[in-house]
Amino acid sequence: MNCFLALTLLLLPFAAAPPAAAQGQLSVLDDAVTRLKRRGVIPVLQEHCQPGIYGSYNHVTRKLVLCGQAMRDGLLTETVAHESVHVAQDCVAGAIGDGHSLPIYWRLLERGAPQAENFRATIKQSLVVRDKVAHALKSTKGMSNSRRTRELEAYGLEHNLYAALKIVEAACPLR
């Protein structure tokens, strides 16, 4: 068992061995973290974060922080997916860890990619179907257009870790 999975198990809110469903989820999360690490991301488990914060990704240090509250609230998968989108945004802006981040939609538009509008529609539909529009708009109020667009993309894809990782794999070459 790798170090990340062991630490995750220690931070989960049950003393006995996790149920089979939780073990399966941890296996998926362990795989996700391994894929991110191969691309230069540095995962960090942090027990205490600011209230309401489940994780973060720093596009300068390449650190992806997962907060203890995400685990306690059962939102670890969504948090890894959300922060993975930010990793992909880091890559589409240039190189991972170069200090720049760009909305995926903007990069697709810039390249004249026909899937740009489909990507944007998918993000919008996901927010509507999951009744996250009000939360996403409230959470991004006052942000610059670029940052707000990046956050909306992450909110739109946080329910689908598989899709988020596929985008990371497409945007970020292996290191």
Q: What share of the chain is helix, strand, coil (3-state, %, to 5)?
A: 60, 5, 35
**Residue 44 β-bridge partners:** 65
Give me the pLDDT at residue 96, please: 84
Write out the two tokens for 121: 């529609």
**62-81 tens-digit pLDDT:** 999 999 999 899 999 999 99
Q: At what angle do helices 76-92 and 145-157 cross, to 10 degrees?
A: 140
Tell me which residue of 112, 111, 109, 129 sits closest to 120, measured CA to CA: 109
pTM of the model: 0.84
How many other C-beta atoms are found inside a 10 Å radius of the C-beta of residue 142? 6
Give me the pLDDT at residue 118, please: 93
Give me the pLDDT at residue 168, please: 95
Above pLDDT 70, what percent of the chain? Answer: 85
Mean pLDDT of the chain: 86
pLDDT bracket for residue 134 (50, 70, 90): very high
Antiparallel, parallel or unpaired: β 63-67 and 42-46: parallel
**83-98 tens-digit pLDDT:** 999 999 999 998 888 8
What is the Cα–Cα distance from 82 to 116, expressed in whole angstroms?
A: 19
